[in-house]
Structure 1
Amino acid sequence: MATMEEIAEKAGVSQATVSRVINGHSGVSERKRKLVMEWVRKLDYQPNRTAQSLKNKKSYLIGIIIPEISNPYFSEIIEKVEIEAKNQGYNVIIANSNGNKQTEKNVISSMQSRQIDGLLIAPIDKDSSHIKNLIKKNVFVVMLTQHLNGFSSVSVSHFNGGFKVAEHFNDLGHQSIAFIGNENDPKFKGFKKGLSKNGLKFDNNNLIEVKSWGGQMSSHEVYNSLNNFIKSKSRIDITGIFAYNDLAAFGAMNALVDNGLKIPNDIAVVGFDNTFIAQELRPTLTSVAQPTGEIGRLSVEILLKKIEGKLVEDKEVILESRLIVRESTRKLE
């Protein structure tokens, strides 16, 4: 097993410098820090976390709670969180609330009992009492994908993403578009604003509400809801569909095909998140891309700064999305 003495020798620095880097202390140049961490990885150095925890009164554990682990969007964020945390000497405990508020509440309590140093959470409902009560708890928290006063957060403007979808449909000549999701979703509000800017008004009869969480469940519900929507019409008057995420778009596309409708010739489809599914579907899916890597990296960076006392004030980071145009949308003739 490698020792700090060996790392110091290979890196050409003192053991004190190695110790400061491994324990996340300041006062080390970025060049030396990178050099030390390079040898930590090469020699597969495993610090004695038990001893460090007793000495520093830290567990070197951070938790992350997400609502649907089956959604590739969250999986991509988790992957980056694990990489960044590991590079800084922390381990990650992952929990899936599966869209259940009571499960989410129980998982938070469980993680606190394991003495985590900090928590990343994408809440099901940020207005839930157990989420707001985290302000009173002795644990550092960073909100993922949403913002709530009293917490640091890393999110993407879903409103702006929805606005971009409306602009895209307008540029292609679409005027009657359905939205699949929840009417309170910021992306839906941005979508309506985008339509309004171009002189269009959203027809509330084209709102197909889906409230379930969980990838497979929501995709199945979308399929059934859109199937019922189509069969209730004597004539299909929509030319486009905006789905609240890629999994929902997947369910929608299956329902369209099973009803003999061609994508995008009969109905164009746009998703949200730009997960790997978007490129695997046939036709490939036009989708709003979120910078999942940056979300994961920045959330860990902010959380560790809070844990180490380097960030006292709450920090809100809002990242921008971009629309990736693929085969599922086309210009009306």
Structure 2
Amino acid sequence: MPEKARVVRPITLRDIAREAGVSINTASRALTGKPDVSDKTRRLVQAVADRLDYRPNQLARGLRQRKTATIGVVVADLANPFFAEVAEGIERTAAGEGYSIIVANTEENEERERRAVHTLVERQVDGILIAPTQSSDASIRYLLQRRIPVVLLARFFEHLQVPAVINDDREGARLAVRHLIQRGHRDILYLNGPPYNSSARLRLSGYQDALQEAGIPFRSSLVISTDARAAGGYAAIQQALAAGLPFTAVFCFSDYVSFGAIRALRQARLGIPKDVAVMGYDDIDLAGLVEPALSTVHIAKTRLGQVAARMLMGMMEPSGKQAERVGVTVLAPQLVIRESA
């Protein structure tokens, strides 16, 4: 007769308390880091928990505390190293405070964003960090109506009072274009992101600021909106060349757009920076590895994620700040000059 499989009962908090010779309440407070437990008792309880391989039931704890110790992170394009670095900063900070993260990728699609947000709400995350697609504000309004703590990543809505952590995109663009002008360029093509994107609007303003400072007239014909990916940069350069637009430098909305632009320029047998200088934005790791190494604007991506995570966790505490009082945190950009401009 075959031997019956033995069912192993999960170790419970009651088992830990009995083994350590303390009450269940004391065992719980020792394992959750509460301050009113002596170091000796804490070490004893933790040692017993480790020896018995105790795994707390996070779902049951969440139901009791009305918290799940999870944070939802909704990014616009996880394939873009920019968002990967932001997510890394979030994860490090959240883990340090005992939170896990659930990451969703929208690929800049409004419907995918809506589904991701609703799924995270159904899973009862304690708060959400989101880089919104910005083609609509419906998902953000939904979170506000549900009173779910939310912080925006890298983008913001001017008409909504929602806490956000962003880069100073207007200043970053001004620094980049000013550098190109100082190198003698006056015909500067700007490959911008979608017009509804807040970063795209601010970077366009910075582009215009630098031109105005130098007394160079703004020409709307030298601004082409792209989908903010390499394919968009490639297509935009082809469009500019086919139209016969005069330019000796290209400022790009992102490093990815720059990579596409460089490919198209090379196919047109134009040297970089000899014939056309190229300036990116974001300073992802690949920027320093391409040939020629890309001049760009550095964004503190990991720090952006860290600051946003701390802001959200503060809002999630019972005595946390109200969303309308948190405001927008703006991080300073830094110009990085390499070989392309």
- The TM-score normalised by the length of structure 1 is 0.83
3-state SS in 2 of match to 1:154: strand
How does 1:13-162 map onto structure 2 within 5 Å? 18-21=30-33, 47-125=56-134, 127-148=136-157, 149-162=160-173
Q: Is 1:322–2:334 an aligned residue pair?
A: yes
Q: Is 1:192–2:208 an aligned residue pair?
A: yes
Which of residues 195, 202, 224 in structure 2 aligns to 1:208? 224
**1:19 to partner: Cα distance:** 4.2
Cα gap change, 1:86/1:238 in structure 2, threshold over 3 Å: closer, same or farther?
same
Q: 1:57, 1:167 → 2: CA distance?
A: 52
3-state SS in 2 of match to 1:309: coil
Q: 2:239, 2:135 → 1: CA distance?
A: 31
Q: Is the 8 A contact 1:66 1:95 kept in 2?
A: yes
Count of aligned positions = 302
Partner of 2:6: none
Aligned-residue CA RMSD (Å): 2.7
Q: Is 1:170–2:170 an aligned residue pair?
A: no
Cα gap change, 1:91/1:205 in structure 2, threshold over 3 Å: closer, same or farther?
same
**1:237 to partner: Cα distance:** 2.9
**1:121 to partner: Cα distance:** 0.3
3-state SS in 2 of match to 1:312: coil
Residues 85-121 of structure 1, C-alpha deviations (whole Å, 9 max, x = no match)? 1121111111111111111111111111111110000
Partner of 1:275: 284
Q: 1:230, 1:270 → 2: CA distance?
A: 18
Q: Is the 8 A contact 1:289 1:324 kept in 2?
A: yes
Cα gap change, 1:197/1:16 in structure 2, threshold over 3 Å: closer, same or farther?
same
Q: Is the 8 A contact 2:110 2:135 kept in 1?
A: no
Q: Is 1:221–2:232 an aligned residue pair?
A: yes
**1:45 to partner: Cα distance:** 8.2
Cα gap change, 1:238/1:50 in structure 2, threshold over 3 Å: closer, same or farther?
same
**1:197 to partner: Cα distance:** 1.2
Q: 1:327, 1:126 → 2: CA distance?
A: 35
3-state SS in 1 of match to 2:250: strand
Partner of 1:309: 318
Q: Is 1:264–2:273 an aligned residue pair?
A: yes
**1:52 to partner: Cα distance:** 2.0
Deviates more, 1:319-328 or 1:179-188: 179-188
Sequence identity percentage = 26
Cα gap change, 1:120/1:128 in structure 2, threshold over 3 Å: closer, same or farther?
same
Partner of 1:11: none
Q: Is the 8 A contact 1:182 1:188 kept in 2?
A: no
Paired letter, 2:290: L
Q: Is the 8 A contact 1:135 1:150 kept in 2?
A: no
3-state SS in 1 of match to 2:279: strand
- The TM-score normalised by the length of structure 2 is 0.81
Partner of 1:232: 243
